Structures are given as structure tokens and as C-alpha cells.
Amino acid sequence: MKPPNSLLAATGTTIFTVMSALAQQHGAINLGQGYPDTDGPEDVVEAAARFLKDGRNQYPPMSGVQELREAVAAANRRFYGLDVGPSDVVVTSGATEAITACLMALLDPGDEVVLIEPLYDTYLPVVRMLGAIPRLVRLNPPDWELPRKELAAAFSVRTKAILLNSPMNPTGKVFNIDELGFIARLVIENDTYAVCDEVYEHLVFGSARHVPLMSLPGMRERTLRIGSAGKTFSLTGWKVGYVTGCATLASVVAKAHQNLTFTTAPNLQRAVALGLAKDDAYFASLAESLEAKRDRLAVGLNRLGLPTLRAEGSYFVSADFSAHFDGDDVAFCRTITEQARVTAIPVSAFYERDPPRHYARFAFCKQDHVLDEALTRLGQFFGTRAT
């Protein structure tokens, strides 16, 4: 029997799978994997159930049902002033598939891709499975400042795309308009493309504002913008994502999508379309609720002597545990899972090499009593260790 493809074998099991299994084994509160522990809007869920029974359960159009493609286009116009239509939208089975389809659409073997660390664990394996070459530029804690000189140097005549995540997992960084303008100039000057993972677009806090790179001058025809119903409606198990780009790029993404999942459950698509038409109050309350949860967890961690880093968006806050623990972040996350029964993710998992080793990422997208119990357990654990 032939051995498995080495590129596929090299991707391994994700840290999220490993830590979630460990959490289950020890009965830990799982603040590692980023998913809410309550369902999203009741009217959206009820619509999905209702749509199962009205006779539209066969294959929907490959690029998505018309209702959802129109709704995504309308949301782009409504929130960001983007002039797009249904032909510029492709619906995918989650944002992870969307990322893969976009990269498949753009990359040929030998092409270079600029990626910014720390980065979501899907990015590098997909780039490498496509035979492309990653060029990594790193942000460093605690400020996560964009290193402009290094970023400019990462572009070359072989660069095909930059993959940008904002709001950013795991840092919670929201790239500001000045940073985005710098990135846009690099893309245009190097005649390349941008794939923008914007799944946390509506989960932005305080004075921070999410601005799609696509909305900047000269970027409309060069950008593929990815959104997620799972994050926007707290329904991560639905796995409904969407890609927005010019019709030419979207059509190539659709060809890649055809060979991945082909299509997505039609009742879920139609329910998401209903959700995207919700009034502004829904989207504001979603961000406000998560901001309060961020503050609840961050204040508690800071009181325990685990200083947190600034998080302007997403589901996550990172904490520095070095005052309490001598080992690295992998050992720390394993120890608190096994002994405190609280699970976090080591931030080093989001770097390719030579990562910072004393930060852990905690998800705050949980019910308040769950966050409080996690803090209580950590307090008891560190109190015991300090005596």
C-alpha cells in the first residue's frame, strides 16, 4: 500500500481538536474552541426549520440560493457601501471552505502568498497543499503592531496574494484604516490579490471599526471578502459562509467550490438570508453583548494576575501567564485543563516557528455563569499553587 500524501499527512490534528478532547476527558470548561454555548436568533432558527418543509430540499444552485446571494450583496451595500450584486457572491459550506476555494481560485504551484502571523491554523496547510509558498510576516505581543518594512519586503514578483484576517484570530486586532491603506498600496503596487477573512466583521468593540479592504480605492477588482453566518448569528454548526468579489473572480471561486462541497443546505441558506436583513439593533446588540463578555473575562483574568492583551474584536482574549507558571504555553494549557479544569489554547499554535511562549488564548463567547465558574476554578487553582 502506498503511503499517504506527505502534504496531507503533515497537516496533522489541529490544536483545537487536541485541546477539546482533553477538555472532555477532564470535564473542563472549554474556553479553547471559539463557539457560543447558546443558539443564535430564534427567528432565524425557526425559519430554517420551517424552510425544511416547503419542498425545496434538492440541490440548490451551486453558487447559492438567490435569496442569500441577494442578501449578502445587500449587506455589503448597507454596512460598507460596496457596489456589488448577486453575481458577485458565492455561498460556501462555512468560511473554512471559502478560504480554501479562494486560494484554489488564485494560486498555482510556485506562487507566493503573504500571510500574517499569528494565523488561523487552516491557512498554511491549504497554501502548501496547493503547492504555493508562504511568506510569513509576524505580529508580536503585546501590541500586535504591523511591521510595515517587513511586510513590504515579503512581496515580490512571485507574490500572487496576501491573506488578511481582520478582525484577527487569535489577537483580537482590528486593522485600522491607515494600516489597511498601507496593505492596499502594496497589493496594487505589486499587481496582486487579497483574500480577506472577515468572519468577525460584526464582532467589533468600543471605538474600533471594521473596514473591508475591498472598500478601499483600487481594491474592488482585487479582493475576495469572506463572511460567516456562523459568527454573525452564533450558529457555527450551520457552516454557511459567503465570498464576495467582482464577478470575474467570483466565477473562478465557484469553480473551486464546485469541486469541494458543491453546495450548502438550502434551508440554512434561506434562513441566513432572513438574518442578514435584521435591523441594525441586532448587529449592535451582538457586539455589545460580546464586548461585555470580553470585559467580564478580562477583568477576572487580570485580577488573577494573568494580564490580558487588548482585544478589539472576535471571540478571544489572550493572557500572559508568566507570573504564575514557569513552563511554556502548551504545558500551561494542558496543566490548567487537567488540574483547574479550564481549557485555553496556546498562542504558539498560531505561529510557524519561534513563537512567543507565555500567552494563552481564552474564548469569551460563553454564558456569563460559565465564564464566572471558569474564573472561580482558575482562582482556586492558582491559590492552591501559591501556598
Q: Is the pLDDT of residue 269 over 50?
A: yes
d(CA 59, CA 78) in angstroms, rounded, equals 29
Please tell me the predicted confidence (pLDDT) of residue 385: 58
Distance between start and end Cα atoms, the chain: 57
User: Phi and psi dihedrals of 196, rounded to 5?
Assistant: -115, 110
Mark which of 279, 309, 330 sits at the end of a domain. Answer: 279
**At 256, which helix (H) or strand (E)?**
helix 247-258
Domain check: are 263 and 289 in the same one?
A: no
The CATH number assigned to the domain holding 29 equals 3.90.1150.10
Range(s) of the domain holding residue 67? 42-279
Mark which of 279, 297, 325 sits at the end of a domain. Answer: 279
Domain check: are 99 and 64 in the same one?
A: yes
Q: pTM (2 decimals)?
A: 0.94
d(CA 181, CA 107) in angstroms, rounded, equals 24
Please tell me the predicted confidence (pLDDT) of residue 16: 84
Residue 19 in contact with residue 331, Cβ under 8 Å?
no
Domain check: are 72 and 219 in the same one?
A: yes
Domain check: are 148 and 162 in the same one?
A: yes
Please tell me the predicted confidence (pLDDT) of residue 210: 98
Q: Give the ranges where the chain is alpha helix by DSSP (H).
A: 6-11, 15-26, 42-51, 66-80, 95-106, 123-129, 148-154, 177-189, 229-232, 247-258, 266-276, 280-303, 329-335, 368-386
ω into residue 167 within 30 of 0, thus cis?
yes
* CA torsion, ordered 83, 290, 163, 211, to nearest 10 deg: 40
Q: Is the pLDDT of residue 58 over 50?
A: yes
pLDDT-based confidence at residue 14 (cuts at 50, 70, 90): confident
The pLDDT mean for the chain works out to 95
Residue 179 in contact with residue 147, Cβ under 8 Å?
no
Domain check: are 257 and 366 in the same one?
A: no
382's grid cell: 492558582
Q: Is the pLDDT of residue 10 over 50?
A: no
pLDDT-based confidence at residue 15 (cuts at 50, 70, 90): confident
Mark which of 254, 279, 304 sits at the end of a domain. Answer: 279
241's grid cell: 459562509
pLDDT-based confidence at residue 11 (cuts at 50, 70, 90): very low
Let me know if residue 1 belongs to a domain. Answer: no
Q: Quick one: average pLDDT of 47-69? A: 97
Domain check: are 31 and 163 in the same one?
A: no
Domain check: are 273 and 309 in the same one?
A: no
95's grid cell: 468560511
Q: Is the pLDDT of residue 60 over 60?
A: yes
Domain check: are 326 and 230 in the same one?
A: no
| Burial of 278 (C-beta count, 10 Å sphere; 0-12/13-18/19+) | middle
Let me know if residue 74 belongs to a domain. Answer: yes
d(CA 376, CA 230) in angstroms, rounded, equals 29
pLDDT tens, residue by residue, 90-139:
999 999 999 999 999 999 999 999 999 999 999 999 999 999 999 999 99
The CATH number assigned to the domain holding 249 equals 3.40.640.10
**At 302, which helix (H) or strand (E)?**
helix 280-303
Q: Count how many domains the chain has.
A: 2
